[in-house]
Structure 1
Amino acid sequence: MMHLSPYAATWDEVDFVLALDRFDLLAMQPHFPGYPYFVLAAMAVHQFVPDPVYAFGVVNVLLTASSAAPVWLIARRIMPPVWSVVVVLTVMTSPYLWLQALRPMSEAAGIALLWWFLWSWWRAMECGSWGRTALALCMFGLLMGVRLSFAAWGLAIVWLLFVRCAAWRREGKRMLPRIIGFGAAAAAFQLLWLARLALSEGGVIGFAKLAVAFTEGHFSDWGGGVSAADHMSFAERVFRFTGDNLLWSGMFARSMPLLAAAAALLLAAVLRAGSSASLSSSKSNPLPLRGRASAWLRRPALPGALAVLAGAYGVWALLAQNIDKPRHITPLIGVIWLLLLTVFRAIPQPDSAPGSPPGSASSRAVVRGVRVRRALQAAGLVLAACVIAFQSAQGGALAIRQADEPPAVYQLAAMLSKEYGADDTNRAVVYTWEETRVLEYLHTPVANRQILTYSYFIADVKANPAATILLTDHVLNGFEAQVGSLRSKVKAVASFRSEALFDPVYHDITLYEWIR
């Protein structure tokens, strides 16, 4: 709690903070779909925490801390207690998760609820009572009311319905009424938050129009999805998504020691998996591939099921989320760590080769194999401890920096207030992109206007002949994409920089003055 970020430094963060003053989707307080459960929790905390930025941070920290319980419960399904503790510590010390949990955004809260949902879903998959099924559907409703962009994890609900239909058919029960009941329960838990939002916007029609407009915008230029990123090939997008967003920024927080420890742990896991493969290589399944796939879908193994769901979300994040914002990969980090560490779970170890007398060459080979596996198990434990230590050190250092270091847009606001806000004779207008939301939130005493089109900018400049015209590098780069180089028409005034992990888009801002 002592290192909560005091800044609302992005457009989305300002949206959330303003929602505590007045909840209004049309005014983007917050933006669609409203994240009502997240905002409602922050409103409750806001009664005790005056600063709205800190109120959201407290909600994130409390929910993130609570998610240690479902991570433990999931790990215990497949791993012994010691390794379950290792899983919990590895997942919970992720530096990138810490950074999200300390900011006024809904990613960390959504990830916490995601873990609770995955635990409740697996319990329903194990024993499909209506009570467990209702709990899983309820948790998914809460998840969607906190972070709708996690909708791809809803494949788990479809999977649960498939498993329940197979069980009902096997038991000779009537399927149609049960399918209708399942669907009605799933819809009801979503309508709990959707209906209230629709009423707040004047009815279903108004809410639907708002939803369509936001969805169209999300898949256009500002949304950053694959359809909008015409400057980037699909191969470049995949490489950036996996190499930079997921691995270097997300899992390793741009730390070379953490990368080295994780690489060593991965090597140990590969060797451990290879040393265990021989134990199951002799087992054969008489069913054809299609039959094995169908049987697995009805009774999946937990690691494989989590891998399928994570893969579905990964595809969604790759194609439909903003590639410039690595925070969209945060839900994958914990699942990847969990799946990697499951390789070290205990398996039956034969004392000798089947049918071979003790002391024979084959029995000695088996004993050597057991020793190798135990050595790799111990190495994995030591390396996992190193990963946890490096994550904790990197996460703590980054959390302190995030709380203490003013974001670049805050530095810009301070400079504008100092240089242009106190002198009425030096009237200035600053043209920005998304920075304008933060400048307005900070009540910067300089006129600022969001601008996208060069021709409109020129007309506006001509309409203000006595004003000092300022523009950020994001605006300038956008204009140059429309009309070519404009470097001869501007001169640099100042540059502002902060850590790219905290704000990958606006961590580096250069302010220019337009030469008339």
Structure 2
Amino acid sequence: MTVRSGHPQRRGRSLFFMAVLLILGCLAGRLYWVSPYVASYDIANFTLAVGQYDLANLQPHFPGYPFFILLATGLARLGLDPVRALGVVSTLGFASGLIPLYLLFKRRRFDAVRLLAAFTVVSTASLVVLSATGMSDGLALGVLCWFVWSVERARQGHFRLLPYLLFGLLMATRLSYAPFGIVLLFLLWQVRRDHWQLVSEFAVLLLAQLAWLLPVAFSVGGPASFAQLSLSFVTGHFSDWGGTAQTDEATLLERLGLTIKQMVWHGLGFATWIGLGSGLFLFCQRLRSFPLWWSVTGTGYFLWVWVAQNIDKPRHVLPLVLLLVVLLVRRLSVRWFVPFLCIQLLIGSIALYQQATTKPATIQLAEAITGLPASATIFTDEEERQFLMARPDATIVPIGSVSKWRAEPKSQEVYLTGRLLKRLQAADVPIEVTEVFRFTSDPRFEPEDAEARLYKLKLNEEVPR
């Protein structure tokens, strides 16, 4: 009788460790195919910050992302290339989310089914591929998973202070995840009658934020300088060009449609029909709704993305995609979520390889400018630092407003990027150009930079000298 009862247990352990080996193999592949490219303006800022942290010089931009940069700087000092260090931190950070998700899902020790369910969540193609870059999204998603687990434990009376500490870590990684702090109000409401407990938890919440805010503030001269810098960043971020033309001109209803599209098409499906089909297949299964506290928090973040975020960038909906996949897989049997896991692994693996081996359009353009005359002046929108990394001796002038464009003197060899041309045309600036270069790349990786063009200003245009 003892031998017979031991067989299922040993078999369960064997399946568990086989699943662990599968996960480690996939993680090794993800680390190997981390993107080596400075594919966007934000990645360029992060890369420079790894070498020299200078918030005043947008290395990186406000609010500083200190936890992300600190970890990447540590890897860079071990000899890793800065942009790869950022990608490795992001990838490992997201992969770490497997642990708290497994702890949330599991029903017994060595539960291979729940481990695969947790692995399914952190194998969603869009989350995996966008994490394998020099952006902070992957690390933030991993910290978010730990935060979700800590909240559930705190609600059961365990580790009550941990959620407040992890929320501070989350804000030090990606400030735009701030609406997830709504769930902390539910925790504080639990202890509302215990005044000392309420004060202590609120104090830890405040101290956890000061723990990263104060060092960043003193890096630019103190709290007053930090406040001034934040105001100037926010003013500049929402003025000048004012964000993308699509975002500014879209109605709330159009933005709602775009938000849902980003979640379903670019999030669940990762812009592939087979991925979308597997995601919709899960929707057809019997689901269990989120608890009230997570439903309210998720709704709050959805409203934040819909109304306040630049929804043209799919990475802003990644937390919603994460929560959605958790909702879909947490109550399903293995036969339902394994097909989704296999399809997402296939899509994600192919996309990871393509992202790591194919030069983004902006990088192709940055390399192409090395063939321009030494006297050329190149006016850009946000591509200045990417271009300077490819050609440090070039004359690159970033333009953030129509007034700056008009004030800049123009030589006979004047070039401007396609992004800048769109900005000027949207502002009704009369301009005549001829196209010099045009490059394209996969829009799933950097949608706003999937096409890069360079134009030459026509000589017969009247320009200030």
Q: Which TM-score applies when normalising by structure 1?
A: 0.78
In terms of mean alpha carbon deviation, does 216-225 or 42-51 score higher?
A: 216-225
Paired residue for 1:498? 441
Q: Secondary structure at the match of 1:449?
A: strand
Q: Percent identity?
A: 31
Cα distance per residue 1:446-482 (max 9 Å; x no partner): 312112445653553xx444x3111122222222222
Residue 340 (structure 1) aligned with residue 328 (structure 2): yes
Distance in 2 (CA, whole Å) between partners of 1:137 and 1:515 is: 58
Please tell me the residue identity of whatever aligns with 2:122.
Answer: M
Q: Give the conservation status (yes or no) of the 8 Å contact 1:472–1:511.
A: yes
Q: Give the conservation status (yes or no) of the 8 Å contact 2:252–2:307.
A: no
Paired residue for 1:242? 260
Distance in 2 (CA, whole Å) between partners of 1:302 and 1:481 is: 43
1:116 counterpart (132, 139, 146): 146
Distance in 2 (CA, whole Å) between partners of 1:158 and 1:235 is: 30
Following superposition, the deviation at residue 328 of structure 1 comes to 0.8
Relative to structure 1, is the Cα distance of residues 188 and 453 closer, same or farther in structure 2, using a 3 angstrom cutoff?
Answer: closer
Relative to structure 1, is the Cα distance of residues 198 and 318 closer, same or farther in structure 2, using a 3 angstrom cutoff?
Answer: same
Cα distance per residue 1:270-291 (max 9 Å; x no partner): 6xx7xxxxxxxxxxxxxxxxxx
Paired residue for 2:121? 91
What are the within-5 Å matches in structure 2 for residues 51-66 of structure 1?
51-66=81-96
Distance in 1 (CA, whole Å) between partners of 2:100 and 2:420 is: 45
Q: Secondary structure at the match of 1:236?
A: helix
Q: Which of 1 and 2 has greater Rg?
A: 1
Q: Which TM-score applies when normalising by structure 2?
A: 0.86
Please tell me the residue identity of whatever aligns with 2:128.
Answer: W
What are the within-5 Å matches in structure 2 for residues 442-481 of structure 1?
442-454=390-402, 456-458=404-406, 460=408, 463-465=409-411, 467-481=412-426
Q: Give the conservation status (yes or no) of the 8 Å contact 1:261–1:383.
A: no
Q: Give the conservation status (yes or no) of the 8 Å contact 1:224–1:324.
A: no
Distance in 2 (CA, whole Å) between partners of 1:385 and 1:176 is: 47
Q: Give the conservation status (yes or no) of the 8 Å contact 2:290–2:327.
A: no
Residue 435 (structure 1) aligned with residue 395 (structure 2): no
Q: Give the conservation status (yes or no) of the 8 Å contact 1:120–1:135.
A: yes
Structure 2 segments unaligned to the other structure (5+ residues) = 1-30, 460-465
Distance in 1 (CA, whole Å) between partners of 2:65 and 2:205 is: 18
Following superposition, the deviation at residue 217 of structure 1 comes to 3.5
In terms of mean alpha carbon deviation, does 306-315 or 330-339 score higher?
A: 306-315
Residue 309 (structure 1) aligned with residue 297 (structure 2): yes
1:162 counterpart (185, 189, 193): 189
Please tell me the residue identity of whatever aligns with 2:416.
Answer: L
Relative to structure 1, is the Cα distance of residues 86 and 223 closer, same or farther in structure 2, using a 3 angstrom cutoff?
Answer: farther
Q: Secondary structure at the match of 1:183?
A: helix
Following superposition, the deviation at residue 441 of structure 1 comes to 3.0
Q: Give the conservation status (yes or no) of the 8 Å contact 1:417–1:445.
A: no
Distance in 2 (CA, whole Å) between partners of 1:432 and 1:95 is: 32
Q: Give the conservation status (yes or no) of the 8 Å contact 2:128–2:348.
A: yes
Distance in 1 (CA, whole Å) between partners of 2:368 and 2:269 is: 34
Please tell me the residue identity of whatever aligns with 1:509.
Answer: A
Q: Secondary structure at the match of 2:160?
A: helix
Q: Give the conservation status (yes or no) of the 8 Å contact 2:388–2:394.
A: no
Relative to structure 1, is the Cα distance of residues 153 and 455 closer, same or farther in structure 2, using a 3 angstrom cutoff?
Answer: closer
Following superposition, the deviation at residue 75 of structure 1 comes to 2.0
Distance in 2 (CA, whole Å) between partners of 1:445 and 1:501 is: 32
Q: Secondary structure at the match of 2:456?
A: strand
Q: Give the conservation status (yes or no) of the 8 Å contact 1:303–1:342.
A: no
Following superposition, the deviation at residue 304 of structure 1 comes to 4.1
In terms of mean alpha carbon deviation, does 15-24 or 434-443 score higher?
A: 434-443
Following superposition, the deviation at residue 483 of structure 1 comes to 2.4
2:247 counterpart (201, 216, 229): 229
Distance in 2 (CA, whole Å) between partners of 1:16 and 1:25 is: 10
Q: Give the conservation status (yes or no) of the 8 Å contact 1:219–1:320.
A: no
Paired residue for 1:404? 357
Following superposition, the deviation at residue 52 of structure 1 comes to 0.5
Distance in 2 (CA, whole Å) between partners of 1:327 and 1:221 is: 23
Q: Give the conservation status (yes or no) of the 8 Å contact 2:191–2:197.
A: no
Relative to structure 1, is the Cα distance of residues 232 and 495 closer, same or farther in structure 2, using a 3 angstrom cutoff?
Answer: same
Residue 482 (structure 1) aligned with residue 435 (structure 2): no
Residue 188 (structure 1) aligned with residue 133 (structure 2): no
Following superposition, the deviation at residue 53 of structure 1 comes to 0.7
Distance in 2 (CA, whole Å) between partners of 1:41 and 1:265 is: 36
Following superposition, the deviation at residue 149 of structure 1 comes to 1.0
Distance in 1 (CA, whole Å) between partners of 2:139 and 2:354 is: 22
Following superposition, the deviation at residue 268 of structure 1 comes to 2.8
Relative to structure 1, is the Cα distance of residues 54 and 72 closer, same or farther in structure 2, using a 3 angstrom cutoff?
Answer: same
2:338 counterpart (385, 389, 393): 385
1:15 counterpart (35, 41, 45): 45
Distance in 1 (CA, whole Å) between partners of 2:244 and 2:260 is: 15
Q: Give the conservation status (yes or no) of the 8 Å contact 1:144–1:150.
A: yes
Q: Give the conservation status (yes or no) of the 8 Å contact 1:225–1:319.
A: no
Paired residue for 1:143? 170
Distance in 2 (CA, whole Å) between partners of 1:305 and 1:458 is: 52
Q: Give the conservation status (yes or no) of the 8 Å contact 1:87–1:337.
A: no
Paired residue for 1:323? 311
Q: Secondary structure at the match of 1:492?
A: strand
Q: Secondary structure at the match of 1:229?
A: helix
Paired residue for 1:211? 230
2:63 counterpart (33, 38, 41): 33
The two structures, once aligned, show a CA RMSD in angstroms of 2.5
Distance in 2 (CA, whole Å) between partners of 1:485 and 1:267 is: 53
Distance in 2 (CA, whole Å) between partners of 1:231 and 1:176 is: 48
Q: Give the conservation status (yes or no) of the 8 Å contact 1:45–1:55.
A: yes
Distance in 2 (CA, whole Å) between partners of 1:437 and 1:388 is: 38
